[in-house]
Amino acid sequence: MSLFEQMGIVYALLGAAIAVLFAGAGSALGVGIAGQAAAGVVSEDPSKFAQVLILQLLPGTQGLYGLLVGFITLSKIGILGGGLADVSVQNGLLILAACLPIGIVGLISGRSQGKTAAASIGIVAKKPDQFVKAMLFPAMVETYAILALLISFLAVNGVQL
Amino acid sequence: MAVLQMQRVSICAMKKNRKAVLERIQSLGLMEISDILEGDAGFAHMDTANARASFEKAAAQADRALELLDVYAPEKKSLFASLEGKALIDAKVMGEMASKRDALQRTASRIQALDKQIAEKRAEILKLENGIESLVPWMELDIPMNLTQTKTAAVILGTMSGVGAVDDVYQVLAQDAPDIEKVDVTLISAGKDMACLVVCCMKQDAEAVEGVLRTHGFARPSQVWPKSPAEVKEDLLGEIERHKEEMETARQEIVSLAEHRRDLRIVADYYRVRADKYQVLGTLPQSERTFFISGYVPARQVGRLEEALKIYDCVIDVEELKEDEEAPVLLKNSKFASSGEGILESFGLPHKGEIDPTTIMTVFYVFLFGMMLSDAAYGAIMAAACGWALLKFPRMGEGMRKSLQLFFWCGLSTLVWGVLFGGYFGDVVNVVSRTFFGHEVSIPALWFVPLEDPMKLLMYSLGIGIVHLFVGFGIKGYMSLRDKKYMDFVCDTLLWYFLLIGLLLMLIPSSIFASIAGTTIVFPPALNFLAKALAIVGAVGILLMSGRANKNFALRIALGLYDLYNISGWLSDLLSYSRLLALGLATGVIAQVINQMASMFGSGVIGAILFIVVFVFGHAVNMAINMLGAYVHTNRLQYVEFFGKFYEGGGRAFAPFKENTKYTSIKEEL
């Protein structure tokens, strides 16, 4: 058996890494952007801390979705339980492909959601009573991360080893 | 489930009862003042601007004093202080405080004056400290700083840059003023950028010497004292000490005034209520002997208002609202449904002619929230925490109570869904039994485990979505029927139902559906035919009827085509419900990750302790994040998908003339 034929599990692990890595990076960017805006508001009015903290947290979910897909992948290929599964090259690449949606969409949507959350923090700064509406704008962006999560999850789940 | 019917109530009463009547209306809080007699000749308006302004100022002063008390003598508050709500006081106590209001106002201004005094002292101390700072380089000087001459000699004090030793100065003088001989230079201190010097010379040479030194950067000190620097420092320190003592006295006086905190709160509210009253008083049309007041009152409360005003000589006129009048909106719902009113208000109250969707929305809200969070333990914690807070703090604010009630129900719903899906802190039962007791035990799901069959749950999620959307669309149809717009009902609602149901029935036996659901469903041929017929009737109907307001036939068909395009809107709305599955999975899988991490430390005592630490922290974070997610996304499904089908909102909330207090609420006299 040549080295290339044994690469299946490596591809699969690469998939898990991509899911966690990119989605996590997206969330980190998003939460960072929103956090800067939140810090600005709190420096003016500390009583808005709880509200802006919630808004800052909203772009954090992409990282969780990436973790979810990564976890499912790891347990599927047996890295978590000990005893590696026998993953063919084809299956490894399938899993890698399945992990791409949440990785890439997580990265981009996390960053965009962070920007939207920063703008929403501006709403809270000026009109605190419109908090619920402010919260809804970042949630719109998250929809697409959820769709990507679904496809990644269903695809990883569906690959028969 | 209703928007309360409003009636216009107009009252005409004797002027002598003016204040009594107004106060009665204010304490009942049933009427939104809205005058109809604007600009009517023959009526005068009382100018209350001054009285109102002085009450508002007094209220603001008391508020400010209370803020200062919080700074200087903070109250011990429990973590849940924000849930406690306003303190309940008797109307009698309010009256007592009102009679003491002048004294209390003096207390308030005294607190403010003391604060100002403290601020001034603080500035003064800062100034003195700066003075001491500037004296430091001169400390070695043992003569008064303002000494300029002795009997025959001149004394020049000053600073100079670029001087390291006395010789530097002598050198400069020898160079530029070689004929002056009798000069004595003493270096007091030499810093990095400048040195402090005392230069003594004969009186007649003073000007020349200083002139020369000046060209080399010599300058006299900006501030001089009639004492030696060491003595001056002593004095300044003494002064600072005195200021500090005075500050402390002032601070203690403020702290001693903190006992008036409660009274100040009451009197602040008293002024606030009075300011409101005078504001209304200023808008009332008044004739020589009488005055008029008019506004909206909920129809079912009119009797109570009439009863309360009976004792005064007045005429009360009740009439239905005019056709074009946009009445303020007040909702009336059952105890369960009213918990969702806050969610509805955030979107917008129903505008004229719309029905109040709170009850239906609340039912779906609780249902969808539970499905998204779907962990029995999280649900139980949520319901228990909200229930505890509701019982413990019965006087919390209205909005807060409604939210907590809603989350109590959502918690129960989460509990039920968790039991159905077999989630108890994720899979903690399995993990604990496996790690610590050696054999795995699990609580079986009552229905099925989503992780094992996600496609099944996806189907159910979309199914629930269809029900949710159809109910919303149905409400639109109901409103058309209620308004007797039968044509609208048939064209805008019924035809769409035909089309959508037809398409759904066509989809179910198809191979796409079979591959998703995993089973093939075969309909009898008649049903298949019916599905096609419904879809075609619906589509053709929409094509022809959507643009029915237009006479131009081509335009009408074009509008119909455009309306048919909405089918993609329905599709995206429907797919949006896949978040029910995704968020449920997120809760469950992350909980499993936490359990797995917690169990990595083995089964010993240390393992158990670390397990508990990781478990508590991890699940607290997971629960918080997923509750936030469930809340946000349930709101989205209600606002965008559900309300998008029938509801616009934009009504104006009923804002009755009442006792708008900040700290206290006044007990109704019986």
Q: Cβ–Cβ of A61/B625 closer than 8 Å? A: yes
Angle, in degrees to the nearest 10, between helices B579-598 and B454-482: 140
Give me the pLDDT at residue B670, please: 46
Nearest to A56 by CA among A82, A42, A35, A77: A35
| Mean pLDDT for the stretch of residues B90-119 | 88
Distance from CA of A127 to the nearest CA of B (A): 13
Angle, in degrees to the nearest 10, between helices A61-76 and A131-158: 10
Answer whether residue B401 is part of any domain.
yes
Residue among A143, A144, A154 with most chain B CBs within 10 A, to mutate: A143
Question: Does the pLDDT of residue B543 top 60, yes or no?
Answer: yes
List, in sequence order, every beta strand (DSSP E) within B308-439. 314-320, 331-332
| Mean pLDDT for the stretch of residues B192-196 | 81
Q: Look-up: residue for tokens 């081509």?
A: B554
Which DSSP state fits B547? T
Domain span holding position A62: 3-158
CA distances from A7 to A88, A89, A92, B614 (A): 8, 6, 8, 35
Q: Cβ–Cβ of B578/A58 closer than 8 Å? A: no
Distance from CA of B170 to the nearest CA of A (A): 56
Beta-ladder partners of B200: B155, B184
Cα dihedral across residues B91, B97, B102, B104: positive or negative: negative
Question: B207, B223, B239 — which closes off a domain?
Answer: B223
Mean pLDDT score of chain B: 88
Nearest to B57 by CA among B268, B280, B281, B283: B268
Question: Does the pLDDT of residue B38 top 80, yes or no?
Answer: no
Report percent pLDDT > 70 for chain B. 99
Question: Does the pLDDT of residue B358 top 80, yes or no?
Answer: yes
Amino acid A22 reads F
Contacts of B590 in chain A (CB under 8 A): 64, 67-68
Nearest to B27 by CA among B125, B128, B80, B95: B95
Q: Cβ–Cβ of A71/B625 closer than 8 Å? A: no
Q: Look-up: residue for tokens 């010599």?
A: B218
Contacts of A131 in chain B (CB under 8 A): 346
CA dist B561 and B181 (Å) reads 110
Give me the pLDDT at residue B180, please: 79
User: Per-residue pLDDT tens for B63-92?
Assistant: 999 999 988 888 887 777 778 888 888 888
CB-based burial label for B195 (10 Å; 0-12, 13-18, 19+): buried
Residue B37 pLDDT class (50, 70, 90 cuts): low
Answer whether residue B113 is part of any domain.
no
Q: Cβ–Cβ of A68/B586 closer than 8 Å? A: yes
Find the CB nearest A139 among B343, B586, B632. Answer: B632
CA distances from B5 to B316, B327, B336 (A): 18, 9, 21
Q: What is the domain-level CATH number for residue B205? A: 3.30.70.2750
Burial B483-514 (b: 16+ CB within 10 A, else e): eeeeebbebbbbbbebbbbbbebbebeeeebe
Q: Look-up: residue for tokens 């209205």?
A: B398
Exposure on the CB side of residue B258, measured as CA atoms within 13 A: 16
Q: Cβ–Cβ of B625/A60 closer than 8 Å? A: yes
Q: What is the domain-level CATH number for residue A138? A: 1.20.120.610
Number of Cβ within 10 Å of residue B194's Cβ equals 18
Question: B223, B254, B288 — which closes off a domain?
Answer: B223
Residue among A74, A144, A154, A156 with most chain B CBs within 10 A, to mutate: A154
Residue B623 pLDDT class (50, 70, 90 cuts): very high
Distance from CA of B586 to the nearest CA of A (A): 7
Distance from CA of A2 to the nearest CA of B (A): 35
ipTM for the assembly? 0.86
Contacts of B343 in chain A (CB under 8 A): 132
Q: In the numeric block, which tokens belong to residue A8?
A: 């299946």
Q: What predicted TM-score, i.e. pTM, was given to this entire model?
A: 0.84
Q: Cβ–Cβ of A147/B578 closer than 8 Å? A: yes
Q: In the numeric block, which tokens belong to residue B212?
A: 């020369």
The better pLDDT of the pair B414, B288 is held by B414
Give me the pLDDT at residue B169, please: 82
Give me the pLDDT at residue B185, please: 85
| Mean pLDDT for the stretch of residues B196-207 | 85
Question: Does the pLDDT of residue B516 top 80, yes or no?
Answer: no
CA dist B118 and B151 (Å) reads 47
Burial B405-433 (b: 16+ CB within 10 A, else e): bbbbbbbbbbbbbbbbbbbbbbbbbbbbe
Domain span holding position B368: 353-645
Beta-ladder partners of B149: B154
Amino acid B441 reads V
CB-based burial label for B391 (10 Å; 0-12, 13-18, 19+): exposed
Domain count, chain A: 1
Q: Tell me whether A29 touches chain B (CB under 8 Å).
A: no
User: What residue in A sits closest to B639 (Cα-Cα)?
Assistant: A136
CA dist B417 and B408 (Å) reads 14
Give me the pLDDT at residue B177, please: 80
CA dist B622 and B594 (Å) reads 9
CA dist A69 and A65 (Å) reads 6
Q: Cβ–Cβ of A71/B585 closer than 8 Å? A: no
Q: Cβ–Cβ of A136/B458 closer than 8 Å? A: no
Number of Cβ within 10 Å of residue B326's Cβ equals 11
Q: In the numeric block, which tokens belong to residue B55?
A: 């009450």
Contacts of B597 in chain A (CB under 8 A): none
Report percent pLDDT > 90 for chain B. 42
Domain count, chain B: 2
Angle of CA points B661, B663, B669, to nearest 5°: 60
Intervals of chain A under pLDDT 50:
none
